[in-house]
Amino acid sequence: MSDEMDMEEGGTIKKFMFVNRKAPYGTIYALESLEVVLISAAFEQDVSLAFIDDGVYQLMKNINTDGIEMKSFSKTYRALEGYDIEKLYVERESLEARGLSEDDLVVDVQVVGAAEMADLMNEQDVVLSF
Amino acid sequence: MLHIVNKSPSERNSVDTCLGHAKDGSAVLLIEDAVYAATAGNMSEAKVKAAMPNVKVYALGPDLAARGMSARVLDGVNVVDYGGFVDLVAEHSNCQSWL
Amino acid sequence: MKFGILVNEGPYQHQASDSAYLFAKACLAKGHEIFRVFFYHDGVNNASRLTVPPADDRHIVNRWSALAQEHNLDLVVCIAAAQRRGMMDDNEAKRQGKDASNIAPAFRISGLGQLVEAGIQCDRLVTFGD
What is the three-class DSSP state of A110? strand
Domain containing A117 — which CATH number?
3.40.1260.10
Amino acid at residue number C88? M
Catalytic, C27? Answer no
Domain contains A4: no
Q: Average pLDDT for residues C76-85, to the nearest whole number?
A: 97
* Segments making up each domain of chain B, as ranges: 2-98
Domain C2-128 sits in which CATH superfamily?
A: DsrEFH-like (3.40.1260.10)
| Residue B21 neighbours by CB under 8 Å, 6+ apart | A114, A117, A118, A121, B3
The interface pTM score, or ipTM, of the predicted complex is: 0.97
- CA angle at C20 for the pair C18 and C22, rounded to the nearest 5°: 70
- Which structural domain, as residue segments, surrounds residue A22? 14-129
- Cβ separation C41–A128 shorter than 8 A: no
Tens of pLDDT, residue by residue, chain A (130 residues): 344 444 454 578 999 999 999 999 999 999 999 999 999 999 999 999 999 999 999 999 999 999 999 999 999 999 999 999 999 999 999 999 999 999 999 999 999 999 999 999 999 999 999 8
Domain B2-98 classification at class level: alpha beta
pLDDT at position A9 is 47
- C-interface mutation test, from A8, A9, A14, most C Cβ less than 10 A away: A14
Burial status of residue B25 (CB atoms within 10 A of its CB: 0-12, 13-18, 19 or more) = exposed
User: Could you give the number of structural domains in chain A?
Assistant: 1
Q: Among residues of chain C, what percentage have pLDDT more than 70?
A: 100
pLDDT at position A10 is 54
Q: Average pLDDT for residues C14-41, to the nearest whole number?
A: 98
DSSP letters, C56-84, are TS--HHHHHHHHHHHHT--EEEEHHHHHH
Q: Does B65 touch chain C (CB under 8 A)?
A: no
> pLDDT tens-digit profile of C88-103?
999 999 999 999 999 9
- Cβ separation B99–A130 shorter than 8 A: yes
Distance from CA of C125 to the nearest CA of A (A): 7
Domain contains A9: no
Nearest to B97 among A117, A118, A129 (CB): A129
- C-interface mutation test, from B31, B87, B89, B94, most C Cβ less than 10 A away: B89
